[in-house]
Structure 1
Amino acid sequence: MYYIGVDLGTSALKLVMMDSRGELVKSVSKEYPLYFPHSGWSEQNPTDWFWAVKEGLKELAAGAAEKIAGISFGGQMHGLVILDKDDNVLRPAILWNDGRSTKETDYLNNVIGKEKLSELTANIAFAGFTAPKILWVKNNEPEIFEKISKIMLPKDYISYMLSGSFCTDYSDASGMLLLDVKNKKWSQEMIKICSISEDMLPKLYESYEVVGNIKPELAKELGLNEDIKIIAGAGDNAAAAIGTATVGEGACNISLGTSGTIFISSKNFGVDKYNALHSFDHADGNYHLMGCMLSAASCNKWWMEDILKTEDFSGEQQDIDNLGENKVFFLPYLMGERSPHNDPFARGSFIGMGMDTRREDMTLAILEGVTFALRDSLEVARSLGIKIKKTMICGGGAKSPLWKKLVANIMNVEVEVPVSEEGPGFGAAILAAVGCGEYDNVETATKAIIKIKEKIKPEEELVLKYEERYQKFKKIYPALKGIFKEIL
């Protein structure tokens, strides 16, 4: 049988279809608009998503409709989708990267209080989270707020339109700041704080659970089998973690995409005392910690394309030969920073340049700086007693042999590269296979499906050199923190 994973991204939709062994059969991509009605705002029209899903399913299923058993999702997190009593979309979805809710975020963190929020949800407020967006609509669009009947996340709108099931999964719900993450239930106190009611919120499921079947009329329209199961799915990072076998106790995945993440799975619930890392439920039924930095591979893209005016990324790295001995440091906070500093005013900075500084030194400093910043989040996890000896790696930056070597030595972990990297869509397809009974559980499925094509081991001499450099890097942000607000 075939299983479809829908990756609802910010710029495009990607659907992947895999067989029961985890082999990729076919993939389809569909783009849709992204709107910026004001500076710092970011919106999309949910009906554009559903159009893309329908067109993608038609194309993907051509000639294979009878073999498709299940559909699941991995989607952009935190977005606010609101419907009225007649299921009409009340306004464009407010996305994860929308910054309009600064006042509401400050209210939650400083009036309700970070300690209280952490007690209720295991997390503190960020402007990207869903709860501040709900409060923004209440404060700025009261006539729309009064009409809200259903509150859902982006991927769950697609699930609702396909199946009629008003649902979400625990991993995606964790990023709303409405879920009691530890006990896997909606927080009644957060519901009151946001002036909503529990019946406005979707039913909660594990990511691999079946929530319904495709609507018969849709199956007919799309040329699909009416028996196709719809499986809850997961937030994009959790789904991507499934696609790299980052499940169970102490598994780790580092993503060097536009943004950067370090994702650590655990069978036990945990929160660091400063809430520097997000503490969320995981798509495997357990928990995870995640550090998210806003600029990762995008730092290198900026340096290559905007500053050096070149697209020869590998060529610029070819002559770099001074690993562990670079005198130049780079703070990779081009768009502010999320984990672990939670500082929207932080900015990118070079320091340590001299008359002997070379082009190669600055290129290396970019790659090192991003990796040092990701290690900041890893150190928070280590402070909780979590021992990480190896990590998977994915994202565009993982195509660089040099960058993978830096990750291994700066973090002192073995780096593993999966054979296939299809992102959240692949993880969602695995969840669909588990939901349809192809595998007993998520961990069993990932062990059977995910294969390793490369391993990079840390080198003792380089580890020692980079340990010394990391200790210096850690001192730079605190020294510059007070200046960033003044220069913006």
Structure 2
Amino acid sequence: MYYIGIDLGTSAVKLLLMDEKGTVHKVVSKEYPICFPHPGWSEQSPEDWYAQSIEGIRELTADCEKEMVAGIGCGGQMHGLVALDDQDRVIRPAILWNDGRTAKQTEDLNQRIGKETLSKYTANIAFAGFTAPKLLWMREEEPENFARIEKIMLPKDYLSYCLSGVHCTDYSDASGTLLLDVEHKCWSREMLEICGVSEKQLPKLYESYEVVGTLKPELARGLGLSADVKIVAGAGDNAAAAVGTGTVGDGKCNISLGTSGTIFISSRKFGVDAHNALHSFAHADGHYHLMGCMLSAAACNKWWMEEILKTEDYAGEQAGIHKLGENQVFYLPYLMGERSPHNDPDARACFIGMSMDTGREEMTQAVLEGVAFALRDSLEVAKSLGIHLERTKICGGGAKSALWKRIIANVMNLKVDVIASEEGPGLGGAILAAVGCGEFADVEEAAAKLVRVVDTVEPEPELAAKYEERYAKFRKLYPALKETF
């Protein structure tokens, strides 16, 4: 049988076709625009997600036995607010995860309601990218639109609705709304009251591997697929990526170098970071995880390469970088503000330490190192909670760079396991679909059988020691500059 995994990203939707043995037969990517109507704002059209996904499914299945397609699972960008009216029409462009307009509402939640109270309600505090502050912004700034809301959706759930006709979400994605009681896996009545919404406006909650419905008959006919194709609830992109890298069960770690960057630590038990620097979310395997999320990871490298250096030769620009651990230039990777661990939407990127002999290699190296150092910030929080890690999986577009993986291994001082497929969220979505269709007993069994490690990048003691010194300097920079942002 075949299973379709969909990764609804920020710049494109990526789709893959996987069989029951985990072999990926085809990958398709379809881009769509992103809009920045004001500084710090970030929006997209949900209709674009759907249109490009349908085209992607059509292209993905063009040469396969269509009757063998059994299920579809989606992993997608988290936190985005998709508001539908009573006809299930999109009311306004979706406000995305990296949108920083809700600084006022976020501060109000954390100060007026209080971080301790929010953490009791939801296991998390308010971050500018979360969905609840977006709802408050919409209620204050667009009251007419807010009054029209019949259903509140997340990005990948809007796509699942379009495929199945079911208003659904899963616990991992719902965890990032600040509307879910994560520990008890139910909508928080207190948060709904604070945001002025009702439970009937929210989608039904599912585990990520549960079947929510089947492909709409008219859609199935148009795509040439069976109307029995099952749609599973899917997962937020980071939880889906963790499934795709086998980061399930207890004490496993995954680092994602996508548009955003994350360090993801799975756990069978619910737990909260007392300082709320890390997110405490439900996981797609039915358990829980802690996660540190930085808003700009591979996005920093893309910005530097394409907007500043005006090139797409990523490998060529990295080819001249040889003196690791000795770079005198630092880069703070806060292009869109920062989430973990600083929770500061006003933070901004900057280069520090240039001299007359600084060249483009040092600047490029600083970008790669700056992202690694920022991920290390979240690792340090995990260490403070008594979490001990020796290795991590890695995925995302940035993971294609051998140089970046080496930097990550030595900055984090962790063994970095590389898996056969780097299609993290898409592969995770396909695996969840396979579990939902009964191919495997549970997510852990599926990951154990389907995910293969093909290489490990080991930290080098001498280089890791050099990076330890560089990181000690890096971590002083944001506190020193905070008041200037």
Partner-residue secondary structure (3-state), 2:299: helix
What is aligned with 1:435? 436
Partner-residue secondary structure (3-state), 1:98: coil
Q: Distance in 2 between matches of 1:57 and 1:360?
A: 40
Partner-residue secondary structure (3-state), 1:398: helix
1:338-362 deviations in Å (ceiling 9; x for gaps)? 2111122323333344555555444
Which shifted more, 80-89 or 385-394? 80-89
CA 1:446–1:375 in structure 2 vs 1: closer, same or farther (change >3 Å)?
Answer: same
What is aligned with 1:184? 185
| Aligned-residue offset at 1:171 | 0.5
Q: Distance in 2 between matches of 1:211 and 1:309?
A: 45
Partner-residue secondary structure (3-state), 2:326: coil
Partner-residue secondary structure (3-state), 2:205: strand
| Aligned-residue offset at 1:97 | 2.4
Matching of residue 14 in structure 1 with residue 20 in structure 2: no
Partner-residue secondary structure (3-state), 2:22: coil
Q: Distance in 1 between matches of 2:237 and 2:408?
A: 23
1:179-221 deviations in Å (ceiling 9; x for gaps)? 0111111101001001111111111110001111222233223
Q: Distance in 2 between matches of 1:51 and 1:326?
A: 45
What is aligned with 2:242? 241
Instruction: Please list, as runs of the form range in 1=range in 2, the aligned pairs for 1:293-312 lying within 5 A after superposition.
Output: 293-312=294-313
Q: Distance in 1 between matches of 2:218 and 2:252?
A: 42
Partner-residue secondary structure (3-state), 1:379: helix
Whether contact under 8 Å (2:13, 2:49) holds in the other structure is: yes
Give the alignment's TM-score, normalised by structure 1.
0.93
What is aligned with 2:478? 477
Whether contact under 8 Å (2:10, 2:259) holds in the other structure is: no
CA 1:200–1:359 in structure 2 vs 1: closer, same or farther (change >3 Å)?
Answer: closer
What is aligned with 2:4? 4
Q: Distance in 2 between matches of 1:275 and 1:469?
A: 26
What is aligned with 1:199? 200
Which shifted more, 24-33 or 408-417? 24-33
CA 1:225–1:406 in structure 2 vs 1: closer, same or farther (change >3 Å)?
Answer: same
- 2:57 partner amino acid: L
CA 1:356–1:174 in structure 2 vs 1: closer, same or farther (change >3 Å)?
Answer: same
CA 1:143–1:476 in structure 2 vs 1: closer, same or farther (change >3 Å)?
Answer: closer
1:108-134 deviations in Å (ceiling 9; x for gaps)? 122112221111111111222111111
- 1:155 partner amino acid: K
5+ residue gaps, structure 1: none
| Aligned-residue offset at 1:309 | 4.8
| Aligned-residue offset at 1:172 | 0.5
5+ residue gaps, structure 2: none
Q: Distance in 2 between matches of 1:44 and 1:328?
A: 35
Q: Distance in 1 between matches of 2:34 and 2:351?
A: 32
Whether contact under 8 Å (2:123, 2:183) holds in the other structure is: yes
Q: Distance in 1 between matches of 2:149 and 2:301?
A: 42
What is aligned with 2:121? 120
| Aligned-residue offset at 1:147 | 2.6
- 1:53 partner amino acid: S
What is aligned with 1:256? 257
What is aligned with 2:220? 219
Q: Distance in 1 between matches of 2:279 and 2:114?
A: 17
Q: Distance in 2 between matches of 1:276 and 1:129?
A: 14
| Aligned-residue offset at 1:392 | 1.1
Which shifted more, 51-60 or 184-193? 51-60
CA 1:482–1:100 in structure 2 vs 1: closer, same or farther (change >3 Å)?
Answer: closer
Whether contact under 8 Å (2:237, 2:425) holds in the other structure is: yes
- 1:248 partner amino acid: G
Partner-residue secondary structure (3-state), 2:454: strand
What is aligned with 2:54? 54
Whether contact under 8 Å (2:305, 2:312) holds in the other structure is: yes
Partner-residue secondary structure (3-state), 1:254: strand
| Aligned-residue offset at 1:364 | 2.9
What is aligned with 1:160? 161
Q: Distance in 2 between matches of 1:66 and 1:88?
A: 31
Partner-residue secondary structure (3-state), 1:288: strand
Which shifted more, 20-29 or 181-190? 20-29
- 2:104 partner amino acid: K
Q: Percent identity?
A: 69
Instruction: Please list, as runs of the form range in 1=range in 2, the aligned pairs for 1:439-478 lying within 5 A after superposition.
Output: 439-478=440-479
CA 1:376–1:138 in structure 2 vs 1: closer, same or farther (change >3 Å)?
Answer: same
CA 1:144–1:2 in structure 2 vs 1: closer, same or farther (change >3 Å)?
Answer: same
1:37-75 deviations in Å (ceiling 9; x for gaps)? 444333333333333333333333335221011111111
- 1:190 partner amino acid: M
What is aligned with 2:93? 92
| Aligned-residue offset at 1:230 | 1.1
What is aligned with 2:398? 397
Which shifted more, 340-349 or 307-316? 307-316
1:314-355 deviations in Å (ceiling 9; x for gaps)? 344334443333333332223322211112232333334455
Q: Distance in 1 between matches of 2:61 and 2:193?
A: 44
What is aligned with 2:26? 26
Whether contact under 8 Å (2:259, 2:297) holds in the other structure is: yes
What is aligned with 1:379? 380
Q: How many residues align?
A: 484
Give the root-mean-square deviation of aligned CA atoms.
2.1
1:350-377 deviations in Å (ceiling 9; x for gaps)? 3344555555444333322221111010
- 1:224 partner amino acid: L
CA 1:98–1:366 in structure 2 vs 1: closer, same or farther (change >3 Å)?
Answer: closer
What is aligned with 1:284? 285
CA 1:320–1:75 in structure 2 vs 1: closer, same or farther (change >3 Å)?
Answer: closer
Q: Distance in 1 between matches of 2:443 and 2:78?
A: 21
Q: Distance in 1 between matches of 2:309 and 2:73?
A: 42
Q: Distance in 2 between matches of 1:85 and 1:323?
A: 57
| Aligned-residue offset at 1:419 | 1.4
Partner-residue secondary structure (3-state), 2:135: helix
CA 1:48–1:469 in structure 2 vs 1: closer, same or farther (change >3 Å)?
Answer: closer
Whether contact under 8 Å (2:241, 2:395) holds in the other structure is: no
CA 1:359–1:67 in structure 2 vs 1: closer, same or farther (change >3 Å)?
Answer: closer
Give the alignment's TM-score, normalised by structure 2.
0.94
Partner-residue secondary structure (3-state), 2:129: coil
What is aligned with 2:407? 406
Q: Distance in 1 between matches of 2:3 and 2:149?
A: 34
Partner-residue secondary structure (3-state), 2:410: helix
CA 1:301–1:61 in structure 2 vs 1: closer, same or farther (change >3 Å)?
Answer: closer
Whether contact under 8 Å (2:298, 2:397) holds in the other structure is: yes
| Aligned-residue offset at 1:86 | 3.1
What is aligned with 1:349? 350
Q: Distance in 1 between matches of 2:459 and 2:269?
A: 28
| Aligned-residue offset at 1:5 | 1.2
